[in-house]
């Protein structure tokens, strides 16, 4: 397992242990983790605190993102993909997109390289969560 | 002046008084303001705290956004437009788009109605800020 994706998975598990939605993210610049986070909709009662947004916040005011690689356990939605495109992040590596198609095409149309690792560990974690918490999941992706 | 756009302008001015970037936003459901916010990049050292994101946070876990109208003093960038599209907000009313083109076409392509009021007050406030603080502005839109 890629050490950075493992860190994103660890974030997702932290969120799950807190009673939250198990999606984790880390941002890497020059092979160093500069930010990490996980979905906190439940924990903070905050609808925008998706894993990637929490991760970008934790990294602070980076300024230039052209060398940044954003890892996420799940394909980013339009909110998080919008941040990627606006901030000029050039590469996104995800654990899976089977449980959520996300905004891959949108990112690619804006020149972002998207790599989908299609990891069983990520797919199983998310599938189990969605099955147990459908309303929470559909709230998170704006499909209530 | 539309009372809701005035509330968004008041938010922008609050941000300016705090030393921040003067962009404000309110969200309205059934003619009632349910959330409000302004850009807090400088104040909170937070790169994702654009006005619309701050506004969505302040509204909390709304769940369904289909009757929500999002007001912003400036055309939303991809980050904020991504939130609009993902959450299913159907209408966005902006003060201006002369200082920043934003992601209007992206929102419209996803079925969002976008109204640009092209208000001199909003254009002047933003133009003056950008002229005085170009580096801060380009940081905020990911163009450093």
- CB contact at 8 A, B92 and B112: yes
A125 at the B interface (CB within 8 A)? no
B92 at the A interface (CB within 8 A)? no
Mean of per-residue pLDDT scores for chain B: 97
CB A142 to CB B65 under 8 A?
yes
**pLDDT higher than threshold 80 for residue B2:** yes
Question: What string of DSSP letters covers chain B?
Answer: --HHHHHHHHHHHHHHHTTS---EEEEEETTEEEEEEE--HHHHT-TT--HHHHHHHHH------TTEEEEESS---HHHHHHHHHHT--EEEES--SS--TTHHHHHHTT-EEEE---HHHHHHHHHHHHH-HHHHHHHTT--
A116 at the B interface (CB within 8 A)? no
The answer to whether the complex's ipTM is over 0.95 is yes
N-to-C CA span, chain B: 35
What is the predicted pLDDT for the residue at A25?
98
Residues of B in contact with A77 (CB under 8 A): 82, 86
Judge whether A139 counts as a catalytic residue. Answer: no
The stretch A91-112 carries a mean pLDDT of: 98
Of B47, B85, B110, which has the smallest distance from its Cβ to A61's Cβ? B47
B12 at the A interface (CB within 8 A)? no
- At B96, list the tokens: 């201006």
The pLDDT tens digits for B11-50 are: 999 999 999 999 999 999 999 999 999 999 999 999 999 9
Give pTM, 2 decimals.
0.97
* DSSP 8-class letter at A119: -
Question: What string of DSSP letters covers A3-42?
Answer: HHHHHHHHHHHHHHHTTS---EEEEEETTEEEEEEE--HH
Give the count of beta carbons closer than 10 Å to the beta carbon of residue B135.
9
What is the predicted pLDDT for the residue at B1?
75
Give the count of beta carbons closer than 10 Å to the beta carbon of residue A136.
16
What is the predicted pLDDT for the residue at B97?
98
The pLDDT tens digits for B90-119 are: 999 999 999 999 999 999 999 999 999 999
- Domain covering B3-141 assigned CATH 1.20.1250.20 in the classification: no
Cα separation, A124 vs A40, whole angstroms: 20
Residues of B in contact with A81 (CB under 8 A): 82
**pLDDT higher than threshold 90 for residue A1:** no
The pLDDT tens digits for A16-66 are: 999 999 999 999 999 999 999 999 999 999 999 999 999 999 999 999 999
Question: Strands B113-116 and B68-72: what pairing?
Answer: unpaired
Residue B144 — pLDDT band, cuts 50, 70, 90? confident
A62 at the B interface (CB within 8 A)? yes
What is the predicted pLDDT for the residue at A144?
82
The pLDDT tens digits for A132-143 are: 999 999 999 999
Kindly report the nearest CA distance between residue A30 and chain B, in angstroms. Answer: 18
CB B45 to CB A64 under 8 A?
no
Choosing from A52, A96, A113, A121, the catalytic residue is A52
Report phi then psi at B103, rounded to 5.
Answer: -115, 45
């Amino acid at each position: 397992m890629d050490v950075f994706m493992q860190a994103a998975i660890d974030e997702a598990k932290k969120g799950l242990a807190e009673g939250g939605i198990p999606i984790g993210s880390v941002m890497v610049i020059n092979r160093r983790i500069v930010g990490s986070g996980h979905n906190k909709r439940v924990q903070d009662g905050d609808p925008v605190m998706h894993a990637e947004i929490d991760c970008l916040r934790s990294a602070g005011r980076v300024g230039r993102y052209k060398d940044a690689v954003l890892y996420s356990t799940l394909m980013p939605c339009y909110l998080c993909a919008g941040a990627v495109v606006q901030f000029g992040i050039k590469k996104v590596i995800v654990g899976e997109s089977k449980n959520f198609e996300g905004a891959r095409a949108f990112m690619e149309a804006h020149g972002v390289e998207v790599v989908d690792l299609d990891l069983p560990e990520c797919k199983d974690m998310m599938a189990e969560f969605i099955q147990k918490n459908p309303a929470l999941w559909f709230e998170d992706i704006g499909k209530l």
